[in-house]
A and B are shown apart, each in its own frame.
Chain A
Amino acid sequence: MGYPHTPHPRETPVLSQHFGEMEATTLDGWRTRGGYAALQRALGMAPAEIVTVVKDSGLRGRGGAGFPTGVKWSFMKPGDGKPHYLCCNADESEPGTFKDREIMRWTPHALVEGCAIGAYAIGAETAYIYIRGEFTEPIARMEAAIEEAYAAGILGKNAMGSGKTVNVWVHRGAGAYICGEETALMNSLEGRRGNPRIKPPFPAVAGVFGQPTTINNVETLAAVPQILNNGAEWYKKFSRSDNPKSTGTKLYSVCGNIARPGNYEVAMGFPFKDFLYDVCGGPLPGRKFRAIIPGGISVPIQTVAEAEASLMDYEGFVAQGTMLGSGGVIVVDDAQNLVKFIARAARFFAHESCAQCTQCREGTAWTTKILERIAAGDGTSEDLDTLLEIADNMTGKTICVLSDSCATPVVSGLKKFRGDFEALIKKKTHVLVPAFA
């Protein structure tokens, strides 16, 4: 946290090593830090060779799903005669997550370079970086970096003198969490309402503008130049020895009731307990941690015991009943009303539902109403069963997973912190009097 950025000694700054250095945001500054060497090399390689290196590195999607990046790229069939597109998902809106924002603010050229390499590797001449509309500063930094890159001949019709065309453009969103869902992002980019699409067809077959498309997260693409510079084996070295499935480093955004909120980068498999208490400074004075969400508000809530037993990688969090997700760590302490916290999360999803699926439109709204009623002291014991029934109807039954994401904190909250709900119901202040005794 804080800038100029002084990493904690236990961090492994790979993506974040130049955070806080104003000079690194400029082309000259980026070049003196080794920038665009990877793109230069990539443009001399066959696209398939780049895909192989990324595949070998074990890099997985950092937006939440964790899909292997090289495998995703290999779905794009070269020589099919169709225009291909790369979309960079910079619609970072998952509550608790603010890591892509820092990448774009401090190392915009890392993302331009990653996009250019990715586009070339999948046979695309154009990459669009879809940035959420509220990120005015990251948008300005990215646009400035892209302008510099065009002026220097890095982007354009003859990228770095290779004879190949690589275009990178910023596309500004306009306020919609759902546009972080990849098919909604493509609709929004096309100038439509951001409603998710039914899959199949998958984006690699028919994506944006009906053409083969790959969508990658900012953090994923920003890691690509480093992998090409240092090699797949170097990237794999960061994983823990007993789990080769999660490789490299991960940026975590830390927020809520904790001593040192901010962005931290650690190697895959780092102990979550050490991360929370040592790297991030533990609870606020006089407080205790109560509940922890490690991967953005869409992943299951952990108890403190579960969190302390977790290892920070894709498999490590699953083993403790949750998911790595986007790496947005939200900490709630014992001074907070956990039901109110979950009710506010539900309100977020109700507000952000695109409303095309009934289960989501109705489910998010009713979940919010019931939770707010309980939080206000007006709940009944039947409300808890109703919440679970609604959550069941919201899970696995809609076009995208926004509905499931709303159900997750409710179900995991009720499972692990049922006492918090029941205490509010017992305390209830208003009683319905039956008309006939």
Chain B
Amino acid sequence: MGGVEAPADTSHHGHGGPYQPVFVGARRQELDELLARYPSKMAALLPALWMVQHDRGWVSDEAMAEVATLLELTPAYVKGVVTFYTMYHQHPVGRYFVQVCTTSPCQVCGAEEVVDAFLRHTGCQELGVTSPDDRFTVIEVECLGACGFATPVMINEDFIESVTPEGVPELLARYK
């Protein structure tokens, strides 16, 4: 436990070169302040992973190792947690990550047509595959908790209610 050196960034995402730590300067201070809220360091794991994803767009193995060192965990443990939760990206995704709710209450309100409209208008070939221009990745998501406003859609951190297939082109135009 602890003392695990973060290896050099070998991903094809970003600028290449050696891995640049996330938790330096203000970010490090933010994490330290957060730690005061909990009786264990491990409890800051989910918030720390959110910071990583916010800054880097996804959570790489190198970032997991960095978080593990800071919270006195093993990289394997951190990976075990990352893989449990659906919102952490373990691979780079498009600039705009589109999640369309298709669970039963939205399904009976026509969510499948909304998904089709997103695939058509983003140029994504299929669900989970990023569009050729790297702009969009579209996935189906399980219940977004806004069933009365079918179909709810998340684009990155934006939560959009009552999306219809006809409204998709105008909505996408806001995401350049």
Say if the beta carbon of B175 comes within 8 Å of chain A.
no
> Interface size bucket, B side?
35 or more
Say if the beta carbon of B76 comes within 8 Å of chain A.
no
Partner of B108, one of A174, A341, A354: A341
Partner of B148, one of A209, A253, A333: A253
Residues of chain B with a CB closer than 8 A to A257's CB: 108-109
Are B87 and A175 interface neighbours, CB within 8 A? yes
Residues of chain A with a CB closer than 8 A to B39's CB: 83, 209
| Given the contacts A174-B85, A257-B108, A344 and B146 also touching, CB distance less than 8 Å | no
Are A330 and B147 interface neighbours, CB within 8 A? yes
Say if the beta carbon of A23 comes within 8 Å of chain B.
no
Partner of A134, one of B40, B107, B145, B150: B145
Are B44 and A191 interface neighbours, CB within 8 A? yes
Q: Which of B2-10, B14-22, B23-31, B45-53 contacts A (4 or more CB under 8 A)?
A: B45-53
Are A348 and B142 interface neighbours, CB within 8 A? yes
A133 to B73, CA, bound (A): 23
Within 8 A of A (CB), among B68-96: 71, 73, 80-81, 84-88
Nearest CB of B to A422, in Å: 21
| Given the contacts A137-B159, A191-B45, A209-B40, A174 and B50 also touching, CB distance less than 8 Å | yes
- Complex A-B: 22 CB contacts under 8 Å: A95-B147, A98-B148, A134-B144, A134-B159, A135-B145, A135-B159, A171-B46, A172-B50, A174-B87, A188-B46, A191-B44, A209-B38, A209-B40, A255-B147, A256-B105, A257-B108, A261-B147, A261-B148, A262-B148, A344-B104, A348-B104, A352-B142
Say if the beta carbon of B127 comes within 8 Å of chain A.
no
Query: Taking beta carbons and an 8 Å cutoff, which residues of B are in contact with A?
Result: 37-40, 42-47, 49-50, 71, 73, 80-81, 84-88, 99, 102-105, 107-109, 141-150, 154, 157-159
Are B80 and A332 interface neighbours, CB within 8 A? no
Say if the beta carbon of A24 comes within 8 Å of chain B.
no
Within 8 A of B (CB), among A73-110: 83, 92-98, 101
For the A-B complex with A257-B109, A261-B147 known, give 12 more contacts whose Cβ atoms are closer than 8 Å. A95-B104, A95-B147, A98-B147, A134-B145, A134-B154, A171-B47, A255-B105, A297-B104, A330-B105, A345-B104, A348-B103, A348-B143
Residues of chain B with a CB closer than 8 A to A167's CB: 37
A351 to B141, CA, bound (A): 10
Residues of chain B with a CB closer than 8 A to A173's CB: 46, 85
Say if the beta carbon of A263 comes within 8 Å of chain B.
yes
A297 to B99, CA, bound (A): 21
Residues of chain A with a CB closer than 8 A to B144's CB: 134
Within 8 A of B (CB), among A101-122: 101
A208 to B62, CA, bound (A): 29
Nearest CB of B to A161, in Å: 23
CB closest chain-A residue, reference B81: A193
CB closest chain-A residue, reference B71: A191
Within 8 A of B (CB), among A280-308: 297
Are B86 and A176 interface neighbours, CB within 8 A? yes
A328 to B146, CA, bound (A): 11
Say if the beta carbon of A136 comes within 8 Å of chain B.
yes
Residues of chain A with a CB closer than 8 A to B44's CB: 191
Nearest CB of A to B14, in Å: 22
Partner of A194, one of B71, B73, B84, B159: B84
Are B145 and A132 interface neighbours, CB within 8 A? yes
A257 to B104, CA, bound (A): 11
A95 to B150, CA, bound (A): 12
Are A176 and B84 interface neighbours, CB within 8 A? yes
A167 to B38, CA, bound (A): 11
A82 to B71, CA, bound (A): 24
Residues of chain A with a CB closer than 8 A to B46's CB: 171-174, 188, 191
Are B148 and A332 interface neighbours, CB within 8 A? no
Say if the beta carbon of A366 comes within 8 Å of chain B.
no
Are B145 and A98 interface neighbours, CB within 8 A? yes
A172 to B53, CA, bound (A): 13
Nearest CB of B to A101, in Å: 6
Are B88 and A93 interface neighbours, CB within 8 A? no
Are B104 and A174 interface neighbours, CB within 8 A? no
A98 to B38, CA, bound (A): 29
Nearest CB of B to A383, in Å: 20
Nearest CB of A to B175, in Å: 16
Are B145 and A101 interface neighbours, CB within 8 A? yes
Partner of A263, one of B43, B73, B87, B148: B148
Are A341 and B104 interface neighbours, CB within 8 A? yes
